[in-house]
Amino acid sequence: MSWVEGGITVTRNFLHHAITCHLLSKDREIMSAHLPIPRRGLSLALSFLTIGTAVLIAAPAALAAPASLPAPVSGVTSQISTGTGTVAASQPSARKLTASPTPTISGVPQAGRRLTALPGTWQPAPVSLAYRWMVAGVTVFGATASVFTPSSAHVGKRITVAVTGTKAGYQTVLRTSVSTGLVAPATIAVGAGPRKVVVTANGGWAYVANSQSHTVSVINTATGKVVARVAVGRNPVGLAVSTNQKQIFVSTCADEKVYAINIKSNTIAYSFAAGTCGDLLATPDGKSLYIGNSPTLREITVATIATRRLADPIFTGTAGSELTLSADQTQVYVSNGDDYFILVVDTATNRLLPKRIDTAYPPVASAPSPDGRTVYASLGRDLVTGASNVVEMIDTATNRVRASIAINAPGDLEVSGDGSRLYVLSGDDNTIVTISTATNRIISRIPVGHAPTSLAVMPDSSKVGITNFGDNTLSVLPVF
């Protein structure tokens, strides 16, 4: 760029050189000696030097105070996006809403059950309200209605809702609710007083013994629907799947019988008198059925499946009730609830072995790890010292306790198929507790129904079913 001043062509480079010279020296005579410019041209250059110096001196102030933005329009609000929501940054000229209440959430936080946002009354009416639902502080894409239904993916997390109120000429306001409790698993309605749940080896069917409605609910695990209710004797309490996966055995206490349900037709195949009732376990060879002993008999009743007759019982001398097959399927663990040990039965001979697994309190339930190296035991109450509130991890080789985990009133428990998780029911807290077997630390405590009584892990370890005696339901917990 250049222009002509008094016959002299002044260029941008010339001006830059002149300013540079001025900054390097304050002596105009020295500068003139190096710049042989006609007098009029020199005057012009000095004028530009003066202007350039003023610009350089004023530059810091200009950077500190940029040019003013256009005046804000009344009622217009800018919004700053944050990690958890949008904070309203209203212009001073906008008025404030006279009422902008904090919203609340109505409904039970459970997978499959609808929650409703209650925004309260915003003033001055009308105020436009927008909703945004969050799970564990993360916004759920598309959840912008006043209602929201948690899914199975949200189990064990808390829900909040943010409500934004807007009105022309007023400041935009954002209000966020208090979070809900942890989202509980979805449930399936079964019969009255569910006591026991078992799952077939292929994971396709689950069966629930309903002690008060005297039925067995048959559930398609793929759809989560009850497809049949099979009437049996009064007060069914025990269930077991036959070794050949063709029958479900049911133990009833009112008539002290065992019923066999045909899995294919969901009908009663046969029944026989057992003289007792309790937990059931089919031996791996498919020949015998163990019936957990009652407190009066102090023995395990053994029934021969082929003949439907009773064989010689296994005398235990204790009021054992819960039966668990060992990892290698050669032994059965008997948790008696009275003495301070778990008894061991040899399934090949149907005899009680001399060895036993000692516990700090009377065991009420046990479960082996898949590798057979550990037995997990839920411990009950001592008549003198009271409740244990403890689950023990016992080394089967040394009979020593590896670790103890505090759980309020622990009940039924089971290990995942890969051995990485231990699931324990807490009867008093109405929760299922998930424990990492690698660290022996609690991963989660998830609410279930009232008075949970038993649980079963799906063969692929994808879900856990929990019977809720007080709610007449089966909770279905997705494993995570």
Per-residue pLDDT tens over the stretch 109-159: 999 999 999 999 999 999 999 999 999 999 999 999 999 999 999 999 999
Same domain assignment for residues 242 and 124: no
pTM here? 0.79
Q: Report the pLDDT averaged over residues 38-48.
A: 35
Same domain assignment for residues 50 and 137: no
Same domain assignment for residues 9 and 107: no
Give me the domain span that covers residue 464.
Answer: 186-478
Same domain assignment for residues 134 and 214: no
The residue with greater pLDDT, 45 or 329, is: 329
Same domain assignment for residues 153 and 200: no
Residue 7 lies in a domain: yes
For position 83, which CATH number holds? 2.60.40
For position 350, which CATH number holds? 2.130.10.10
pLDDT digit string (tens) for 286-324? 999 999 876 566 889 999 999 999 999 998 887 767 999
Residue 66 lies in a domain: no
- What's the CA gap between 428 and 416, in Å, rounded? 23
Same domain assignment for residues 360 and 390: yes
Residue 147 lies in a domain: yes
- Residue percentage of the chain with pLDDT more than 90: 74
Among 8-17, 223-232, 393-402, the range with the most confident prediction by mean pLDDT is 223-232
The predicted structure's pLDDT at residue 474: 98
Residue 128 lies in a domain: yes
Same domain assignment for residues 44 and 127: no
Q: How far are the Cα atoms of 238, 321, 439 from residue 280, in angstroms, in the given order?
A: 6, 9, 32
Q: Which of 145, 176, 207 is the last residue of a domain?
A: 176
Same domain assignment for residues 283 and 407: yes
The predicted structure's pLDDT at residue 88: 52
Q: Which of 61, 85, 105 is the last residue of a domain?
A: 61
Same domain assignment for residues 27 and 152: no
Residue 181 lies in a domain: no
Total domains in the fold of the chain: 3
Q: Report the pLDDT averaged over residues 74-99.
A: 54
Name the average pLDDT for the chain. 84
Q: Which of 34, 61, 88 is the last residue of a domain?
A: 61
| DSSP annotation of 183 | P
Q: What confidence category does residue 73 fall into, taking pLDDT thresholds of 50, 70 and 90? A: very low
Residue 67 lies in a domain: no
| DSSP annotation of 184 | B
Least confident of 18-32, 239-253, 413-427, 456-470: 18-32
Task: Give the closest residue to 103 by CA, choosing from 135, 139, 126, 133.
Answer: 133
- Count how many residues are written for the chain: 480
Same domain assignment for residues 99 and 33: no
Residue 287 lies in a domain: yes
Same domain assignment for residues 388 and 257: yes
Q: What confidence category does residue 76 fall into, taking pLDDT thresholds of 50, 70 and 90? A: very low
Cα angle value 403/408/413 (rounded, 5°): 65
